[in-house]
Amino acid sequence: MTDRAYTAYSYLTAGEDFRRFELAPEFGRVPPYAAGLTAGQAERAAALLRDSLVISLHDHPVRFPARMEETPEYNRTGRQHAAYAGLAASGLTVVFDNMMDGTACVTGNAPWRWDDIITDLGMRQADLAHAPGVMTVRTVADIDEAYRSGRTGLVFGLEAATPIENELDRLDILYGLGIRQIGIAYSDANTLGSGLNEPVDGGLTSFGKRAVGRMNQLGLAIDLSHSSDRTALDASAATSAPLLITHAGARAVWDSPRMKPDDVLRAIAGTGGVIGMSAAPHTTLSHEHPAHTIESVMDHFQYCADLVGLEHVAFGPDTLYGDHAALHRVFGHLLGIAGRRPGPAFNPVEYVDGLENPTECFGNICGWLVGHGYSDDEIRAVLGGNIRRVLQSIWVAP
């Protein structure tokens, strides 16, 4: 198919080949963000977004059910529906797409099982093969081709290596099937190391150290976003390649276990890696902006840039199409959110104003950076240049 209006899985017949759900819209679910830019600033931001290499280090560019409580049934079909129209309007060159991840309960009620992950990966790539204007990214050359051709590239990743269990060769299998970024652990510990929700931080296991070595050999980018502090420090000591925190923030700005302390941020930068700013609801809050908005997120951005240098900072907003706050309520027990120490008191929000979904994120980030006096070169670096540079030291050249 070559129809530019292609929608997810429309090579099949909805209602006959798979169950139909009412899905969240790709546009207009919440009011647009009021950036308050001058006409000249808005024009400059639009030009930078249009002409720059723009990479999201972590997002879920898919449509969830309009009624978020239907998500378990939706995911059991094995088909999350990519938001192709939303991506086309986003200005994004490349998205690190982490698929269902901890909500991948296709065949049961527990996440991170091997068969479910493989189903998810295969289904998404079968759909992508039929969609115009998008492409799979597995090398830096693919990133450059996406930019040159005006297509949106998807890098497939997993937020935890839990599905490999104790089988090191499963990393090779995942790599062969297209995975190019993988986390050590999510909230719960696994055979590689501790997640950020464990009461005792055991750090990286001996198997985890072997896994880090295999990931380095494969050219598989390693993510520490949901790993414990000790696991992140141990991985930084064990790696021979730069490491990533694809979506987090600074604990010095907001004292929550989901945020990273200065020693971890410095350790990741010390490997030559990059730290992506998250915007999942009620994560990257700040004392200056306890009602979560783009301003809260940029407080973390500025702190990290001052701490480790602008060359080690990027954005992984961790957004999706649908009610993300409701998703946390539906899946909190699986995602390690239920019962987690939230940090200081804050003002709950229904959505993160300015960073609600992948379509609006980077336009608003670019506008914020322009409005706060960043140079064109600095903006291009944090929009995607820093990530491309680091991937050259991680991924295998074609």
Give the amino acid at 199: P
What pLDDT sits at residue 2? 36
- The percent of residues in the chain predicted with pLDDT above 90, rounded, is 88
Q: What is the pLDDT of residues 279-303, one digit of tens each?
A: 999 999 999 999 999 999 999 999 9
- 181 CB-near residues (< 8 Å, 6+ apart): 96, 98, 155, 156, 157, 158, 220, 221, 222, 223, 244, 246
Q: What is the mean pLDDT of residues 304-313?
A: 98
Q: What is the pLDDT of residues 255-273, one digit of tens each?
A: 998 999 999 999 999 999 9
Structure-token pair, residue 397? 């050249």
Residue 98 pLDDT level (bands cut at 50, 70, 90):
very high
Q: What is the mean pLDDT of residues 378-383?
A: 98
pLDDT at 74 over 80: yes
Q: What is the mean pLDDT of residues 77-89?
A: 97
What pLDDT sits at residue 361? 98
Contact 62/390 with Cβ under 8 angstroms?
no
Element (DSSP H or E) covering residue 333: helix 324-335
What pLDDT sits at residue 226? 95
The number of beta carbons lying within 10 Å of the beta carbon of residue 307 is 16
- Which parts of the chain are beta strand (E)? 55-59, 62-63, 81-82, 94-97, 134-136, 152-158, 179-183, 221-223, 244-248, 274-277, 313-315
Pairing of strands 179-183, 152-158: parallel
Element (DSSP H or E) covering residue 340: none
| Domains detected in the chain | 42-391 (3.20.20.140)
Residue 106 pLDDT level (bands cut at 50, 70, 90):
very high
CA of 248: how far to CAs of 13, 68, 304, in Å?
39, 24, 11
What pLDDT sits at residue 340? 55
- The percent of residues in the chain predicted with pLDDT above 70, rounded, is 96
**Separation of alpha carbons 17 and 12, rounded Å:** 6
| Residue labelled with tokens 């909190």 | 332
**Separation of alpha carbons 81 and 23, rounded Å:** 9
Q: What is the mean pLDDT of residues 374-388?
A: 98
Determine the 3-state secondary structure of 22 from DSSP.
coil
Q: What is the mean pLDDT of the chain?
A: 95
**Separation of alpha carbons 21 and 70, rounded Å:** 8
pLDDT at 3 over 70: no
What pLDDT sits at residue 108? 87
CA of 33: how far to CAs of 13, 100, 150, 354, in Å?
36, 27, 26, 5
- 39 CB-near residues (< 8 Å, 6+ apart): none
Pairing of strands 221-223, 152-158: unpaired
pLDDT at 203 over 70: yes
What pLDDT sits at residue 333? 60
What pLDDT sits at residue 330? 87
What pLDDT sits at residue 5? 84
| Residue labelled with tokens 């308050």 | 36
pTM of the model: 0.96
What pLDDT sits at residue 187? 84
Residue 4 pLDDT level (bands cut at 50, 70, 90):
low
